[in-house]
Structure 1
C-alpha cells in the first residue's frame, strides 16, 4: 500500500508490544512514508531509541524538556508536521491520559497540540482491556473521532488468551493508508463475499467446507486500504472485521449470502466473490436432531444452491465481477470455463489441497481475464491480496476508460 511522502508521527507507549512498533516503522517506510517516533518513558524500558532512529532515519524524541529541541518549540513543530498520529502500542495508561486531556509528557502533549487525525492501537492484558474504566476511555476517544484499531485476539505475553493483542504492522499500515483515501480505488464501492457457507442438516449438524475466510478478509482489507468503501458479506468465520472495512454483513447459508449480495451489488462498482459457497443444501432439513438407526445407512437428499455470481451477472447493470475458483486439478482450464460461463471480468484461480489454499496463511493465484493470464506467486495472503487489488483496480479503470475512447 502506498503512503508515499505521507508524514506519520508514531507514538510508542510502554508495554511488551513496543517491539512490534519496530516492524511497524519498517512497514511504513517501505510504503513510502516519512516516520518520526516519539517514545514515552515506559516505552524506553522495552525498546531503545537507537533502534527506532536506525529504522526511521530520524532522531527520536521522548522528553518535553529537551533543551536543544524545545529552544525552537520542537513539540509544536512536530505537532504541525504530522499528517497522522498513530499511538502503537497504546497502553491502558496512555488511553486514559488521552481520554482525560492530560499533557504531562511529550506524546500526550503532541496529541493535544496537533490538528492531525489521531489513531490508536490498544495493546494490553485481556483483563485490562475488559475493565470498565478502559472501555469507558475508549468510548470517549471514539466519540471524539479518534480511530481505534483493534485490539486483536489470541495468545498474550502474560500467558493468557483473549482480546488485547496489538494488531500486526501490515494491518496498521493499511489502516493509515486507507485513512488518506487516495488509493487506486478511491471513491469506489467494493463488495466482497468471504468465508464458507453452512447448510443445516438438523439443528445440530450442517454441510460446510474448509474455508477459513482469510483470503477474502485480506482482499477486503486491501480494497479498503486502496481507498474503497468496502462492504464485506461474510459466512461463519473466526475473524474480526478487517481494519478500514466500512460494513460487515454476517450470513450463514448460500441463500442468505445471495440475499445480502443482491442488496449490495446494485450500488457497488466492483464485486469480488471470494467466498466458498456450498453447491448443495439438504432439500428438507430435519426439525429435530436426527438419531442413529442401528447401523442403517442414512441418505440425504440434496438440492442445488443458487449461483450467486451468475445471478449478479444477470443484473441489468452488474458491477465489475471478479470470481474465485478453488480447484484440486486442471486449475486454469476449469477457471477459464467458469470465467466464460458466468460472464466474469476476471477470475482468481488457486490450487487447493495438499497444504494449499484452505487453512493456510499463504496462497498463490492465477489471475485470468478474457484475453490475459498472470501468475501471482505464493506468499502471505495479505500481500497476495494487495497484489490482487492492484490488478483489479488497473483492469477496472481500463474497462471504464479504454485507451481509444
Structure 2
C-alpha cells in the first residue's frame, strides 16, 4: 500500500487520535486538527506531557467558535489550509463534515454522537433559539443568524452524504441514528463501523487480589429518557438496571462493592435510587478524575460494567479489554456479530436478575474473571487495535472510493 498523507479534523473523546495513531503505525503521514478546548477532547488528556507542546503532526485550531462556523469567517482559513494542503485523504469528525465543500480530495466521516444527532439535525435550530428573546428572533440580525445556522446544518449533512465512507455504529445499534442517516441519504454500502481499543497505551494487567468483588461502572449515570429529551439513544446507559441488579445481589447474600462515577445527568436520581434500594453502604461514588486515574480504578476492579440500556458498549468496554479486564454489559452481540466474526467477550446482561446471577457466579468462581479478561485482551488485539482498525478502514475505503487517483494508492 502506498503511503498516504491523511488529514483528520476533530477529536471527540480522543477517538480520532487513536485512529491517527493506527494510521501512523501503518506508515502513513497523518496530521490531526483539534477544535475543542475541553480536556476530554484534547490529546493531553491521554498524554499530559503534551500540554502546550504538541508534536508537529497535531495542530490546535480550538479557537474556532460556532459563529465562525456558521458565518464561515476567515478564522476557518487555518483549518482549511491543513485539510487541503498536500493531502490525499481527509477524515472529518465533530463539526468537520461542514468543511467538506472546501476539500480537494475524497473524505471519510467519523460520527461519534452530536455531530449527527445535533449538528446535522434541523431540530437543533429550535433548541438553540428556544431561549432567545422573541424580539431578537424576529429582528433582521436574529433571522440572519437562524439562516446561517440552518445553512451550517445543511453543510454538515452534505459533508456526511458526500463521504466515501461514513463511520457509524452497525445498523440496529442506534435506530435513531440509522433514521437520520437514512433521511440524509447515506446507503448502508457507504457505512463502516469503527470500534477502537487503546491497545497502544494500555497493557494487560494482572487481576487484583481483592478480598471482595469490586465492581466498577465506567459509564456516565444517565437512564431517564423522559428527563433528558435533548439526549440521543446512545446516551442512555441503563444505570438503574445495574443498581437494581446489584441490590438483588446484595439482598441475596452478595458481599461485593459497586463503584460509580459522580458524573451524568441522572446522578441525583441515581443517589435517590441507591437509598431507596437500601444499598447506600455498598455503593461508592468516585469524584472527578483524570483519565489516568480512571485507568487505575479499572485496574483495581475485578469487573467493569458498561451500559445496560439503549446504547452499546463503547470506550469503557474497549479500554477494559485493553487492560485485560472482564466486562458485564448489554453487549448487543446480535448486532456486533454482523461486523466481527467473533462475538464481543464478556457477560451479557439486560435485566436486574441477569446482573444478580452473574455477580453470584463470579463471586463464587473468581477464576472466571481472569479467563474472560485474557480473552478480552486477545480480542482487542485481533479486531479493535488502532492499527487493525485503521487497516480495516482503508481496505473498506479502497473498495468504495470513486476517486481513481486515491484508488491507485491502495
TM-score normalised by length of structure 2: 0.31
For the pair shown, which has the larger CA radius of gyration, 1 or 2?
Answer: 1
Query: More relative contact order in 1 or in 2 (CA 8 Å, sep 6+)?
Result: 2
How high is the TM-score relative to the length of structure 1?
A: 0.32
| Higher strand residue share | 1
Higher helix share: 2
